[in-house]
Amino acid sequence: MSVIEPPRQGEIVTRTPEELDRLSSTWESPGGLIGWFMPVNQRVIGRRFVLTAFVFFFLAGALAVLMRIQLMRPENDFLSPDLYNQFFTVHGTAMMFLFAIPVMEGIAIYIVPMMVGTRDMAFPRLNAFGYYVYLIGGAVFFGSLLFNIAPAAGWFNYVPLAGIEYSPGLGVGIWTTMITFIEVSALTAAVELIVTILKLRAPGMSLNRMPLFVWSALVTAFMIVFAMPAIIAASSLLVMDRQIGTHIFTPETGGQPLLWQHLFWFFGHPEVYIILMPALGIISTIIPVFTQRPIFGYTALVLSLVATGFIGFGLWVHHMFATGLPQLGMSFFMAASAMIAIPQGIQVFCWIASMWGARMRFDTPLLYVLGFFVIFVVGGISGVMVAVIPFDLQVHDTFFLVAHFHYVLIGGAVFPLIGGMYYWYPKMFGRMMDERLGKISFWLAFIGFNVTFFPMHQLGLQGMPRRIYTYLEELGWGDLNLLATMGSFILAAGFLLSLFNALWSLWRGAPAGEDPWGSPTLEWATPSPPPNYNHAHIPIVSGRYPLWDRRGEESSPVVVGLRDDRREVLVTTVLDAEPHAVAVMPAPTIWPFISAVAASTGFLGILYHPSFFLVGFFGAAATFTMWFWPRRPWRDD
Amino acid sequence: MHSHAGYDARELTRFAHKTHPLWWGILGVVTIEATVVASLIASYFYLRMDAEAWPPPGVDPPGLLFPTINLVLLVTSSGTMYWAGWGINRENKLVLTLGTSASVALASLVLVLRGIELSDLGFLWNSHPYGSIVWTMMGFHFVHVVSAIIGTAVVAFLAGIGYFTRERQLGVVVDTLYWYFVAGIWIPLYLVLCWAPRVL
Ligand code: HEM
Ligand SMILES: [Cu+2]
């Protein structure tokens, strides 16, 4: 026990250096080569998720630029048609599955436990497992491009095109298997986030005091739990169709290709909100900090997050307006698609009200948020347009759609995300990113983005279909395409400048200190970068803005009586966060890594022979047993 | 900024089970798997909606006998799981070992019967869409029973060497939760596979 004389209620507590050392070594991650495969701490895993996701972002971005070069002028032969197909498939899939979801999860894994004042995620080993599965899945997926066997059936992989008859070879198999891996990883992260948020909050952080970023992570996680199983089922069925000759999606033998579309979009539409939701949380985090006053309409914002989560599930059919479903059903989905505008509108209203008349500090994080507003409004308008069935039929599968979803995805998710990176970078690495470079990068990205994608609306209305590798001179699409390609160079320069800024600031940035922005949430109450144990004591919270609430006070209440020689965290009740137990967290181990390798060998092997299923299944079962096997001294005695 | 003691966690239990994060985690797994089952059932009816005949002409739906026996066995095995937990709550390690082992035995019997049933179906997964989805749903449940057996066998073994106590029984509690799910999910699958083609 650390405290020999138990402190009484209200007594001042300080950690002696020896205690801090012990706490730190209890929560330490092993070093060395083998040690690299062992850590389970949430900040280590979260950082890996974020870094890996950005590697995929830049790779997928490079593919996008190559595609733009191909489309730069009519009848260009820079990329072959087949390579172009592979590129847009890999670009779209990687951006949606390997970048957008994992990066948001990574940030949540890194930030949420600190924000709610605990020391780790609820299932640290599972967290590590999820990361390795993601890493392996992503690496194999991108690796397939090097061998020219990448999937080429588009990011939604429609059957029958994706069936064995029209897509023989490994490509689609790799797509389905890797997607399943990444979904498994997303599901593990989602369950963990839910349990961490519901059960490990600091005492006093009742649900109605939870930071909005935590709310957004919670809603996102719930959406993942209900959306992703559909795509797992769909891709497993497709694997079976391709590998063992089942007939689920094959029309010529009585199967139903449209079933794929339903299952895919039942996941695919919520997917867009899964990507968007954490970004909304980031915006609601950044605005109060840079205006230095509480957000306007906390409750309304929470309710709109939750409402968006629900409505997001009612919309999938709007991706299928062109498939000829019954009229009444279609109208219902059209109305539902328009309904989503209500919570979105409420949020925008609250944000504007929060900024109204405030003295704002226009630092880079806020700039990216303001850029979001402009872009997202355009994306929202074009979205309402395509939700109208007659209009949708007109622009279906044209560049209008490409423009629309890039406005939503880049404006809605990537811009706030980069703002968030500028905001949390000091916490993660202990140094500030350069402001001047940050501002330049913002303007390059903002201008480049609009120059790239705005002309695409016009191209779509002029009839340019998506997914074509080239077009004829006489169609007159050349000028706008050239403009879009120029824009993509500027956009890329903007993102690369931020990358450079991040690397350069690692050793040149100004030291950040605990709380460089004057933020209200708990992650800023520890040194930057935080020590192994996050907070020296688990804090006790009595308001929505803990660090602002305690301004001007002498001392703040904390939890005492947790042991520092093993990994103890406090478990609290779901609604009011009253303490009711202590959980002992597991220490670093290599088993999650071995499990991930065993499972991926098995499930990739299925592409070679179905019997590899057994390898995957029993390999996972055996390694899971080893991972859970109790070792003396029993952890919780 | 100083800190002062606001709450003392020394007396809190370190042995929570129904309030432990892991219990909630298993609940999450169960939710995910239930959603997968819902997707499969939806796929079943979607395929059926557009089929001319379901099952196809000349094909019989799975028989009633073995699936019904399996239903009874699975319910019974949940009972023995409950009994095992009842035992360890009274620090009775023998009941825990016997109860979990009985569940493993009953579930293994389920696998045997399921095996016979599958080999007697008269069609394969690659015969027609009906065969594909029926085999998928049955296979899905089969694999889940296997995982529940493996997990519970480990618990039974640990119980046998005396690892679990009245306090340290988190492993038992979460394994039981998962067991109830695997047994319970057979009910909707059973109704869809065996009864829907007969009554709907
Ligand atoms: C970095 C800037 C980006 C550029 C220049 C870019 C450009 C492109 C291009 C040229 C296409 C192919 C259009 C076609 O021929 O049909 C495309 C498709 C796509 N992009 Fe991007 N993109 C960028 C970023 C993103 C991001 C951040 C996301 C998602 C988070 C994304 C998601 C997609 C998707 C889903 C597709 C559709 C793929 C398919 O048709 O299957 N893109 N993009
Ligand atoms: Cu949609």
Judged by CB atoms closer than 8 Å, whether chains meet at A6 and B10 is answered as yes
Q: What is the pLDDT of residues A360-394, one digit of tens each?
A: 999 999 999 999 988 888 777 887 787 777 778 77
A564: closest chain B residue by CA: B10
Mutate to test the interface with A, among B12, B23, B145, B189 (most CBs of A within 10 A): B12
Break chain A into its structural domains and give their ranges.
38-589
Residue ranges and CATH numbers for the domains of chain B are 21-199 (1.20.120.80)
pLDDT over 90 (residue A322) = no
Residue whose structure tokens are 């042995």: B15
User: Which residue in the set A12, A196, A581 is minimally distant from B13, CB to CB?
Assistant: A581
* Tokens of residue A198, six digits: 């519901």
Q: Longest C-alpha distance within chain A, in Å?
A: 87
CB A218 within 8 A of CB A193: yes
* Tokens of residue A361, six digits: 């500090």
The per-residue pLDDT for A330 is: 66
Would you say the CB of residue A401 lies under 6 angstroms from ligand 1?
Answer: no
Question: Which DSSP string corresponds to B96-153?
Answer: HHHHHHHHHHHHHHHHHHHHHHHHTSS--TTT-HHHHHHHHHHHHHHHHHHHHHHHHH
The per-residue pLDDT for A331 is: 73
CB B197 within 8 A of CB B55: yes
* Tokens of residue A296, six digits: 């306007």
- The residue whose CB lies within 8 Å of the most ligand 1 atoms, and thus the one to mutate among A402, A418, A444, is A402
What is the average pLDDT across A252-261? 89
3 state DSSP class of A581: strand
Distance, CA of A141 to CA of A155 (rounded, Å): 13
The sign of the CA dihedral A629, A630, A636, B4 is negative
A458 touches chain B (CB under 8 A): no
Would you say the CB of residue A404 lies under 6 angstroms from ligand 1?
Answer: no
Would you say the CB of residue A159 lies under 6 angstroms from ligand 1?
Answer: no
Judged by CB atoms closer than 8 Å, whether chains meet at B20 and A583 is answered as yes
> Which ligand has an atom closest to residue A445 CA?
1
The CA A141 to ligand 2 mean position distance, Å, reads: 25
Tell which residue, A305, A275, A283, has the closest CA to residue A413: A275
pLDDT over 80 (residue A321) = no
The per-residue pLDDT for A216 is: 97
Residue whose structure tokens are 């349990």: A195
Distance, CA of A12 to CA of A121 (rounded, Å): 28
Q: What is the pLDDT of residues A160-181, one digit of tens each?
A: 888 888 888 888 888 998 889 9
Which residues touch A381 (CB under 8 Å, ≥6 apart)? none
- Please give the number of the atom of ligand 1 that sits closest to the Cα of A468: 15
Question: Which DSSP string corresponds to A57-104?
Answer: HHHHHHHHHHHHHHHSSTT--SS-HHHHHHHHHHHHHIIIIIIIHHHH
pLDDT over 50 (residue A3) = no
Would you say the CB of residue A406 lies under 6 angstroms from ligand 1?
Answer: yes
* Tokens of residue A628, six digits: 């859970």
| Percent of chain A's residues with pLDDT above 70 | 97
The per-residue pLDDT for A636 is: 56
Q: How far is CA B197 from CA A163, B62, B118, B185, in A?
A: 29, 9, 17, 19
Q: Per residue, what are the HEC states of A448-476?
A: HHHHHHHHHHHHHHCCCECCCCCCCHHHC
- Measured from the Cβ of residue A156, the count of other Cβ atoms closer than 10 Å reads 18
| Percent of chain A's residues with pLDDT above 90 | 69
Distance, CA of A16 to CA of A81 (rounded, Å): 67
- Interfacial B residues in 133-162 facing A (CB < 8 Å): 133, 135-136, 143, 146-147, 150, 154, 158
User: Which residue in the set A1, A253, A579 is minimally distant from B128, CB to CB?
Assistant: A253
pLDDT over 80 (residue A146) = yes
- In CATH, A38-589 is 3.40.50.720: no
**Residues belonging to chain B:** 200
What is the average pLDDT across A525-536? 93
A225 touches chain B (CB under 8 A): yes
Specify the amino acid at residue B98: L
Q: What is the pLDDT of residues A543-558, one digit of tens each?
A: 999 999 988 888 899 9
Q: What is the C-alpha end-to-end distance of chain A, expressed in Å?
A: 13
Tell which residue, A533, A549, A572, A545, has the closest CA to residue A201: A572
- Residue B31: burial class (beta carbons within 10 Å; 0-12, 13-18, 19+): middle
- Residue A320: burial class (beta carbons within 10 Å; 0-12, 13-18, 19+): middle
Which residues touch A628 (CB under 8 Å, ≥6 apart)? B154, B171
Q: Beta partners for A398?
A: A465
3 state DSSP class of A13: strand
Closest CA of chain A from B183, distance in Å: 19
Pick B18 or A221 by higher pLDDT: A221
Average per-residue pLDDT for chain A: 91
The CA A268 to ligand 2 mean position distance, Å, reads: 7
What is the average pLDDT across B17-37? 93
Judged by CB atoms closer than 8 Å, whether chains meet at A199 and B5 is answered as no
ipTM of the complex: 0.94
The sign of the CA dihedral B121, B122, B124, B126 is negative
What is the average pLDDT across B106-127? 94
The per-residue pLDDT for A326 is: 65
* Tokens of residue A166, six digits: 């029209």
Q: Per residue, what are the HEC states of A108-136?
A: HHHHHHHHCCCCCCCCHHHHHHHHHHHHH
- Residue A194: burial class (beta carbons within 10 Å; 0-12, 13-18, 19+): buried
CB A603 within 8 A of CB A571: no
CB A570 within 8 A of CB A201: no
